A and B are shown apart, each in its own frame.
Chain A
Amino acid sequence: MIQRRVAATVVVGAILLVIGGLVRPRSAATGIPQGQFWATKLSLPARFDVVVAGCSRVYRAVSPAAMQEVLPGRRIVNFGFSGLAYGPEYLAAVERLLAPDSPRPVVVLSIQPVNFLESFSRKNGFTDERRRDVVSRWLARHFGTAVQFLMPWGIDDSRQSIRPSGVVYYEVYHPDGWVASRKVPESPGEYLKSSAMVFAREQVSTRIEGELFSTVGRWVAKGVVVIGVRLPTSPEMRELEDRASGFDESTFARRFAKEGGVYLSYPPGKYHSYDGSHLRADSAVVFSRDLAQAIRPLVLRERRAEGPGRLPMPSGPSSANVAS
């Protein structure tokens, strides 16, 4: 009797499992499965010449493939994670990605106020991914499609499939760490309100800034080229960040350069943002090429004992360096 019940449970469960996976509300995300995308990022080997690090603005704005068009032969990876603020574990993970045999190791760090918020440093996409158990990560890396099939139904996806709002978020997850993104229709003010709320309760942390400066100094002393980039965003977002976050860009740039880093600041408005914060895929490609062009003189030079503060200035966006 019990055996028959167990058998019935298994059969019904299997049927429901298949049906559940098949009728799952479709999201507009394509490319490699999301679970595989994040798990792979965390288990990348030390084989890169250029590591681009930071928050979602980085993983949506920087296409390593587009950068490689300008920097042929350089191994580039996008190591961005959602809501990231810099902490020692993340910076150590960035450093571990640099190839020991790289002729010119380069780290490109996104510099946005959110990268220096205490609450974001405690919980972000990187810390969440690290907290996942090793078995889940291993399964996500090697059985990405099956794991994707068993992923939970997103509440938004379910709501969309019942009553479509007309808003579609297209995302393409690339193995090099870039997420090509666009939203139809666009919502230019989407992030302004939430960002204003974040800055109302929290200002940038001088502790996190200080830790980053000392890391930059240490990396530069090791011969790593460190580039800080204030990424382009919408003018409204830049204005909000400058006014409300407590981030003093000119002081930051000076300190960054003093440690031997190169600081680049991209003016807002030149590239197109679909939600007031992140770049649309086509703009991201253009920006990636521009960024690669700007840092090209730094990247293509051979490693030599230049010491901190002797790095050449790139041309293009406004920049700061001790040498200038």
Chain B
Amino acid sequence: MLFNSTVFLLFALVFFATWRLLRGRKKARLAFLIVASFFFYGWWNWRYVFLLLYTGLIDFSAGLLMGRYPARKKLWLVLSLCGNVGALATFKYLGFVTGSVNTGLALVGWHFRLPVYSLVLPVGISFYTFESLSYTVDIYRGETRPTRDPLQFFSFLSLFPHLVAGPIIRPRDLMPQLAAEANPTPQQWWDGLKLIAQGFFKKMVIADQLAWLVNTAFADTVPVQSAPYWWLVTTAFAFQIYCDFSGYTDIARGLAKWMGYEFPVNFDHPYISTSLREFWTRWHISLSSWFRDYVYIPLGGSRKGAWAGHRNMWLTMLLSGLWHGAAWHFVIWGGLHAFYVSSERITEWPKRLSRLPGGRGLSCALVTLLVWVGWVFFRAQSATRAVGLLSIMFSPSAWNLSALAPMLPALPFLLIGIVWELWFLLGLDRAQWAQRAGLRLEPAVIAALLVASIYLRGSGEAFIYFQF
């Protein structure tokens, strides 16, 4: 079920009315939450509810067994990892792996071919698998106690606002909230409304209005030979994916607040970053921190010297790329960011640049440029195509402006996104006058954002991160 659909509005209406009615009946509330969340998930394809159930049962059982037989907890962890990663590998990576093996064999002259299966990717499998995994890993590490309450565990796993596109929430953050009676305070209600209005505006107005421009540009098999055109398309995609995903997170956080729960911040104005390291502390924070805590640090982090630190960071980034999609262009995107961060660690260019007058702005511009180059690999359908597009973008002979005319209708929406980020880059959000005015005008702004989401909405695309 999509947040930006009429059926979800109806679902939310029934859900929150019932949620309120079940006040004071914790068990009943959690049971209702699980049923509603499974319904939410099954609306897309009811068969995959069983996959969610399978993942949950594996980790709930592994948790119980680790608690009961601590001497064998490594065995239970390995079984849990095999179950989870096995499901993810089957549905997400089987076709990619067999396809890549076949290509590799053909390159060395072998004509043996593995059968290539392409299964339908269950929505949100990468998100809930990671959440479920973190539960067993945390128990193994002694950071979380296993719950004996299946209602609590399945509420943690399936809680519908974050089920299909995050934020990826750790058990230690959510389990204690589920254990307590959740009753939203009036302030939580208001903050939830603000987040929901902001999320809908980002998704339905900015991201969806930019979507047609981006989709049209990338659909052409023969790319338009204009550098400004592709820079504009890439900028549009950068804001489309940002507003799409952070909009989803905002709505998810708002809905959670209406239930009385708190989700962590997932995006913190990534495009005002002045270094790539900073970018990764602002972009998809819950995933970056998941990879840091469950991959990078267990590999040794940077504790074993600088080069080991680089190696571990590269592995983490490449895996992060692969997490986004089973295709080489995603791996290259991860590798490119690893290269950026490595270069940054070695040269410390952001620190040096920031000492110059206007250095912060220059750093921000340079980070933006590097991130944009990365987005070309992320969005292009293949690495070859991405290289082709980048060669147009950096070609001095391709500077013709004639191709820009059809893009004009999308420009106002792109400008809103850019101004929004500049507002924070310049620190205007912290100015006293802005805070005072913001407080006074809040109701009107929220109302305007919601109404704009109705009248200025775009084509009603699915959320981009659903495919991951």
Contact A13 B451 (CB under 8 A): yes
Number of chain B interface residues as a range:
20 to 34
Pick the contact of A135: B6, B409, B446, B448 (CB < 8 A): B6
B2: chain A residues within 8 A (beta carbon)? 133
Pick the contact of B409: A133, A139, A150, A155 (CB < 8 A): A155
Complex Cα spacing A12 to B247, Å: 23
Known pairs A2-B189, A5-B443, A155-B409; A20 contacts B454 (CB<8 A): yes
CB proximity of B449 to chain A, nearest CB, Å: 9
Known pairs A12-B444, A201-B222; A2 contacts B186 (CB<8 A): yes
B7: chain A residues within 8 A (beta carbon)? 133-136
Residue ID in chain B nearest A23 by CB atoms = B455
Contact A139 B457 (CB under 8 A): no
Known pairs A136-B7, A150-B454; A13 contacts B447 (CB<8 A): yes
Known pairs A9-B193, A133-B5; A152 contacts B457 (CB<8 A): yes
Complex Cα spacing A9 to B189, Å: 13
Contact A9 B451 (CB under 8 A): no
Verify if A142 is at the interface (C-beta below 8 Å from B). Answer: no
B450: chain A residues within 8 A (beta carbon)? 13
CB proximity of B207 to chain A, nearest CB, Å: 14
Question: Which residues of chain A in 1-48 are interfacial with respect to chain B, using CB atoms and an 8 Å cutoff?
Answer: 2-3, 5-6, 8-10, 12-13, 16-17, 20-21, 24
A153: chain B residues within 8 A (beta carbon)? 455-456
CB proximity of B225 to chain A, nearest CB, Å: 14
Verify if A184 is at the interface (C-beta below 8 Å from B). Answer: no
| Binary per-residue interface labels of chain A (216-228) against chain B in the complex, 1 for a CB within 8 Å, 0 otherwise | 0000000000000
CB proximity of B260 to chain A, nearest CB, Å: 15
CB proximity of A251 to chain B, nearest CB, Å: 26
CB proximity of A285 to chain B, nearest CB, Å: 33
B222: chain A residues within 8 A (beta carbon)? 200-201
Contact A16 B5 (CB under 8 A): no
Contact B190 A139 (CB under 8 A): no
Residue ID in chain A nearest B220 by CB atoms = A201
Verify if B432 is at the interface (C-beta below 8 Å from A). Answer: no
Question: Which residues of chain B in 1-28 are interfacial with respect to chain A, using CB atoms and an 8 Å cutoff?
Answer: 2, 5-7, 9-10
Known pairs A9-B193, A152-B454, A152-B457; A136 contacts B220 (CB<8 A): no
Contact A135 B456 (CB under 8 A): no
Complex Cα spacing A2 to B443, Å: 10
Pick the contact of A152: B190, B446, B456 (CB < 8 A): B456
CB proximity of B441 to chain A, nearest CB, Å: 10
Verify if A270 is at the interface (C-beta below 8 Å from B). Answer: no
Contact A5 B448 (CB under 8 A): no
Contact A12 B443 (CB under 8 A): yes
CB proximity of B440 to chain A, nearest CB, Å: 10
Residue ID in chain A nearest B451 by CB atoms = A16
Verify if B347 is at the interface (C-beta below 8 Å from A). Answer: no
Residue ID in chain A nearest B449 by CB atoms = A13
Residue ID in chain A nearest B412 by CB atoms = A155
A20: chain B residues within 8 A (beta carbon)? 451, 454-455
Verify if B442 is at the interface (C-beta below 8 Å from A). Answer: yes
B397: chain A residues within 8 A (beta carbon)? none
Complex Cα spacing A58 to B222, Å: 30
Residue ID in chain A nearest B8 by CB atoms = A133
Verify if A310 is at the interface (C-beta below 8 Å from B). Answer: no
| Binary per-residue interface labels of chain A (136-154) against chain B in the complex, 1 for a CB within 8 Å, 0 otherwise | 1001000000000010110
Q: Please report the number of residue pairs spanning A and B whose Cβ atoms sit closer than 8 angstroms.
A: 70
Residue ID in chain A nearest B450 by CB atoms = A13
Residue ID in chain A nearest B11 by CB atoms = A135
Verify if A159 is at the interface (C-beta below 8 Å from B). Answer: yes
Residue ID in chain A nearest B457 by CB atoms = A152
Known pairs A200-B222, A201-B221; A16 contacts B448 (CB<8 A): yes
B448: chain A residues within 8 A (beta carbon)? 12, 16
Known pairs A2-B190, A5-B443; A136 contacts B451 (CB<8 A): no
Complex Cα spacing A8 to B443, Å: 6
A5: chain B residues within 8 A (beta carbon)? 190, 442-443
CB proximity of A136 to chain B, nearest CB, Å: 4
Residue ID in chain A nearest B444 by CB atoms = A12
Known pairs A9-B446, A12-B447; A159 contacts B409 (CB<8 A): yes
Residue ID in chain B nearest A139 by CB atoms = B6
Complex Cα spacing A159 to B448, Å: 21
B219: chain A residues within 8 A (beta carbon)? 119
Verify if B187 is at the interface (C-beta below 8 Å from A). Answer: yes
| Binary per-residue interface labels of chain A (102-145) against chain B in the complex, 1 for a CB within 8 Å, 0 otherwise | 00000000000000000100000000000001111001000000
Complex Cα spacing A2 to B186, Å: 6
A21: chain B residues within 8 A (beta carbon)? 455
A150: chain B residues within 8 A (beta carbon)? 454-455
Contact B443 A9 (CB under 8 A): yes
Contact A136 B5 (CB under 8 A): yes
Residue ID in chain A nearest B221 by CB atoms = A201
CB proximity of A120 to chain B, nearest CB, Å: 12
Residue ID in chain A nearest B448 by CB atoms = A16
A136: chain B residues within 8 A (beta carbon)? 5-7
Interface centre among B2, B193, B450, B451, by most chain A C-beta atoms within 10 angstroms, is: B451
B447: chain A residues within 8 A (beta carbon)? 9-10, 12-13, 16
CB proximity of A50 to chain B, nearest CB, Å: 33
Complex Cα spacing A153 to B444, Å: 21
A3: chain B residues within 8 A (beta carbon)? 186
Complex Cα spacing A9 to B193, Å: 10
CB proximity of B291 to chain A, nearest CB, Å: 33
Contact B455 A6 (CB under 8 A): no
Interface centre among A2, A24, A152, by most chain B C-beta atoms within 10 angstroms, is: A152
Complex Cα spacing A10 to B458, Å: 23
Residue ID in chain B nearest A140 by CB atoms = B6
Residue ID in chain B nearest A13 by CB atoms = B447
Complex Cα spacing A2 to B194, Å: 12
CB proximity of B394 to chain A, nearest CB, Å: 24
Question: Which residues of chain A in 288-320 are interfacial with respect to chain B, using CB atoms and an 8 Å cutoff?
Answer: none
Show 25 residue pairs from A and B whose CB-CB distance is below 8 angstroms, ordered by the A residue. A2-B190, A3-B186, A5-B442, A6-B443, A8-B444, A9-B444, A9-B446, A9-B447, A12-B443, A12-B447, A13-B446, A16-B447, A16-B448, A17-B451, A17-B454, A20-B455, A21-B455, A133-B7, A135-B5, A135-B9, A136-B5, A136-B6, A139-B6, A152-B454, A202-B221
A-B pairs with lowest CB-CB distance, top 6 = A13-B447, A8-B443, A12-B447, A2-B186, A133-B7, A16-B451
Knowing that A5-B443, A6-B193, A16-B451 touch, tell me 13 more A-B residue pairs with CB under 8 angstroms: A5-B442, A9-B443, A12-B443, A16-B448, A24-B455, A133-B6, A134-B7, A150-B454, A152-B454, A152-B455, A152-B456, A155-B409, A200-B222
Mark A residues whose CB is within 8 Å of B.
Answer: 2-3, 5-6, 8-10, 12-13, 16-17, 20-21, 24, 119, 133-136, 139, 150, 152-153, 155-156, 159, 200-202
Mark B residues whose CB is within 8 Å of A.
Answer: 2, 5-7, 9-10, 186-187, 189-190, 193, 219-222, 409, 442-444, 446-448, 450-451, 454-458
